[in-house]
Amino acid sequence: MQTLQKISSEYVDPRSYAEVGKVSKMPDNFPRLWSTVEQICQILRIDAEDSPAGDAYRFQHIKSRTGARVYSAGDRCDALFIVYAGFLKTSWVDKYGNEKILDFPMKGDVVGFDGIESKQFKNTLVALSDIELIVVPMDFFHASSSHAYGFRRRILELMSNALIAGQKVEYMMGTLPAEARVAKFLLSISQKFRAMGFSDKSFHLRMTREDIGSYLGLTLETVSRTLSGFSRCGFIRVDQKFIEIMDVDGLKLLRRLPALKR
């Protein structure tokens, strides 16, 4: 994770990804990367039943620095993004300016489903670290490429997953007390880190307490207090954004709290 992020040290305006002619503007020592269809299939874990390896598609990479806004509500959407490296957050802003964090995409996640219907993004995507994204134009979804069938199927699966994940967040916010929400959040983050091949016992959160609170439907104070409480109980160690999980089962047991209401 750390190494991958350090590779990215140039800033490419995401909005220019469609303007291939601008490549010449890039300095030579920071080559613009491209992925093949096969690489996309590998990252998304698409079974390459038939691999004629003849697809001419190439998918552009874009890089952004920490804090960069990849897209905002209203921006034109004609592509999805695969997170190749780094950490991000998606959020929705209501008409009064209140922001709700929706997700924290990481390596391997696909971002941009919110722009499909109206061809305009409804949410905001912000980089929580230096990031590298792969741009997959929506045209590829409808293409007759030999890989498009598997790609279509996989995108549908990923959207289905996203839908179910969102529903579990709804459940969490609707029924679980603060401790259980924070515990579930930590376990979920831990599991994602493990899936990426990093340590699931110690990691550092890229988002603020306020972001976590918004995601879980809590205030930043409650998040902070709950983390301190876990620390006092010996479940975790906390040092600012660094988290060390000491007692996984202790955190998991907190899931049963809502059952006690009976």
> Measured from the CB atom, is 163 or 195 closer to a copy of itself?
163
Cα–Cα distance measured from residue 2 to residue 154, given in angstroms and rounded to the nearest whole number: 28
- In whole angstroms, the minimum distance from the beta carbon of 148 to a copy of itself comes to 10
- 223 in Cβ contact with 213 (< 8 Å): yes
Q: Which does 94 bind (CB under 5 to 8 A by kind): DNA, a copy of itself, none?
A: a copy of itself
Q: What is the DSSP letter of 18?
A: T
Q: Show the DSSP H helices in 118-201 as ranges.
A: 139-142, 148-175, 178-195
- In whole angstroms, the minimum distance from the beta carbon of 209 to DNA comes to 4
> Measured from the CB atom, is 39 or 231 closer to DNA?
231
- In whole angstroms, the minimum distance from the beta carbon of 95 to a copy of itself comes to 9
Which residues face 59 on adjacent strands?
Answer: 35
The letter for the amino acid at 211 is: D
Q: Which does 115 bind (CB under 5 to 8 A by kind): DNA, a copy of itself, none?
A: a copy of itself
For 245, phi and psi rounded to 5 degrees? Answer: -90, 120
Q: Which does 208 bind (CB under 5 to 8 A by kind): a copy of itself, DNA, none?
A: DNA
- Give residues in contact with a copy of itself (CB under 8 A): 92, 94, 96, 98, 100, 102, 113-117, 122-123, 141-142, 149, 152-153, 155-164, 166-171, 173-175, 214, 216-217, 256, 258-259
| End-to-end alpha carbon distance in the chain | 44
